[in-house]
């Protein structure tokens, strides 16, 4: 199963209950006006407020936020928030269940979750899910998942899943899988899998499978498998590496299978390619097209050789009969 498909159900289950208030805020069905009764100790909206005050600066304590406009300072809530489509939180928001606002600027801590229908700018940490429907800028931590729908700038770390449908600039780290559907500049770490749909400039690492659907420039490594389109830099897999093309240093514990290989390739059992330009060291070097460079192994095969083969047996299909299969050394005759 594709890493992304395996991870998304977990993220959706974890976020379901917490995302409900955020989705409800986008609902176009009109709602009766909220009661903004509160015990206010202060003047001109500054001081201490106990209740559902609409706008406050200072310390605010409320059971459940409903149609709040703005809080500057510290906001403490106990229960699940209701609709707050225009709520801007500036300062520190702490919710026994989950702080929910349109925009959170500062720090937010939720027992279950932290949800922003627009952006999180600062630090957000939740027992289950941290969710920004637009951008997460800063640090996002979640016991199960961290989601920045349209992008993440900074650091996102979760016990199971980190997901962004937009570009990421920074570091993502997940105990299960890290998924970036846009361009990623930085580092992606997934204990089981790491997936980048766009261009990767940096590093993507996992103990299981690492996949780059677009193009990579940097380091891509997987404890078991690496799958990619165009991998440029250093790429390595404990078992197998599969790609359209690789350039730089490529390592496959058992094998490398790429349409084009450029640079240095090291494989334990078999290196298979349609075109080689560089040096390949493997038990079996299988070049099904032109080879420009050197292969070293037990058995070397090339359809068209512009270089040398060094090994126990060396076969060049394009050579004249009698010079195709030679021991120790072969070249183009």
Q: What is the pLDDT of residue 23?
A: 43
What average pLDDT does range 144-169 have in this prediction?
97
Could you tell me the maximum CA-CA distance found in the chain, to the nearest angstrom? 100
For 56-97, write each residue's pLDDT tens digit. Answer: 999 999 999 999 999 999 999 999 898 999 999 999 999 999
Tokens of 270: 């078999």
**SS3 (DSSP) at 23:** helix
Q: What is the pLDDT of residue 9?
A: 45
- Which residues touch 282 (CB under 8 Å, ≥6 apart)? 255, 256, 265, 266, 267, 268, 269, 270, 271, 295, 296, 297
On the question of pLDDT at 7 being above 70, the answer is no
Q: Backbone dihedral region of 19: left (phi > 0), alpha (psi from -120 to 50 degrees) or beta?
A: alpha
Chain position carrying tokens 């909206």: 45
Distance CA 151, CA 146 (A): 11
Please choose, from the candidates 265, 200, 256, 197, the residue with its C-alpha nearest in 3D space to the C-alpha of residue 4.
197
- In this structure, how many other beta carbons lie within 10 angstroms of the beta carbon of residue 33? 8
Ranges assigned E (strand) in 197-254: 200-206, 209-222, 225-237, 240-252
Q: What are phi and psi of 6, to 5 degrees?
A: -70, -30
* Cβ atoms of 73 and 57 closer than 8 Å: yes
Buried b / exposed e across 201-238, counting CB within 10 Å, b at 16+?
A: bbbbbbbbbbbbbebbbbbbbbbbbbbbebbbbbbbbb
Please choose, from the candidates 149, 117, 143, 150, the residue with its C-alpha nearest in 3D space to the C-alpha of residue 129.
143
Bigger pLDDT: 105 vs 37: 105
On the question of pLDDT at 27 being above 60, the answer is no
**Confidence class for position 172, pLDDT limits 50, 70, 90:** very high
On the question of pLDDT at 175 being above 60, the answer is yes
**Confidence class for position 213, pLDDT limits 50, 70, 90:** very high
Q: What is the pLDDT of residue 30?
A: 60
For 217-254, write each residue's pLDDT tens digit. Answer: 999 999 999 999 999 999 999 999 999 999 999 999 99
Question: Among the listed ranges 35-49, 87-101, 122-136, which one has the minimum average pLDDT value?
Answer: 35-49
What share of the chain has pLDDT > 70, as a percent? 91
- Which residues touch 236 (CB under 8 Å, ≥6 apart)? 220, 221, 222, 226, 249, 250, 251, 252
For 275-315, write each residue's pLDDT tens digit. Answer: 999 999 999 999 999 999 999 999 999 999 999 999 999 99
Q: How far is CA 255 from the centre of its chain?
A: 25
On the question of pLDDT at 261 being above 80, the answer is yes
* Cβ atoms of 225 and 237 closer than 8 Å: yes
Buried b / exposed e across 71-94, counting CB within 10 Å, b at 16+?
A: bbbbbebeebbbbbbebbbbbbbb
What average pLDDT does range 21-39 have in this prediction?
61
**Confidence class for position 38, pLDDT limits 50, 70, 90:** confident
């Amino acid at each position: 199963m594709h890493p992304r498909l395996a991870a998304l159900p977990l993220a959706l289950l974890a976020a379901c209950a917490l995302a409900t208030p955020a989705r409800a805020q986008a609902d176009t069905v009109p709602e009766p006006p909220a009661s903004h009764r509160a015990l206010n100790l202060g003047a001109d909206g500054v001081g201490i407020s106990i209740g559902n005050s609409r706008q406050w600066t200072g310390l605010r304590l409320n059971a459940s936020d409903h149609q709040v406009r703005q809080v500057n300072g510290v906001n403490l809530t106990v229960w699940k928030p209701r609709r707050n489509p225009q709520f801007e939180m500036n300062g520190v928001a702490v919710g026994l269940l989950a702080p929910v606002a349109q925009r959170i600027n500062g720090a937010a801590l939720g027992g279950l979750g932290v949800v922003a229908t627009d952006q999180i700018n600062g630090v957000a940490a939740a027992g289950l899910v941290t969710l920004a429907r637009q951008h997460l800028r800063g640090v996002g931590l979640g016991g199960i998942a961290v989601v920045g729908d349209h992008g993440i700038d900074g650091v996102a770390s979760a016990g199971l899943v980190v997901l962004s449908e937009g570009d990421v600039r920074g570091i993502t780290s997940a105990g299960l899988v890290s998924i970036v559907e846009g361009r990623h500049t930085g580092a992606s770490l997934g204990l089981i899998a790491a997936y980048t749909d766009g261009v990767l400039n940096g590093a993507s690492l996992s103990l299981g499978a690492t996949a780059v659907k677009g193009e990579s420039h940097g380091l891509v490594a997987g404890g078991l498998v690496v799958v990619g389109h165009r991998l440029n830099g250093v790429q390595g897999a404990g078992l197998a590496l599969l790609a359209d093309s690789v350039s730089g240093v490529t390592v496959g514990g058992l094998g490398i299978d790429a349409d084009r290989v450029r640079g240095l390739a090291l494989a334990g059992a078999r290196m298979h390619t349609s075109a080689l330009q560089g040096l390949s060291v493997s038990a079996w070097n299988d070049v099904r097209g032109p080879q420009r460079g050197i292969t070293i192994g037990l058995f070397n095969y090339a359809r068209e050789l512009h270089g040398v083969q060094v090994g126990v047996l060396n076969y060049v299909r394009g050579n004249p009969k009698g010079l195709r299969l030679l021991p120790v050394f072969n070249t183009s005759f």
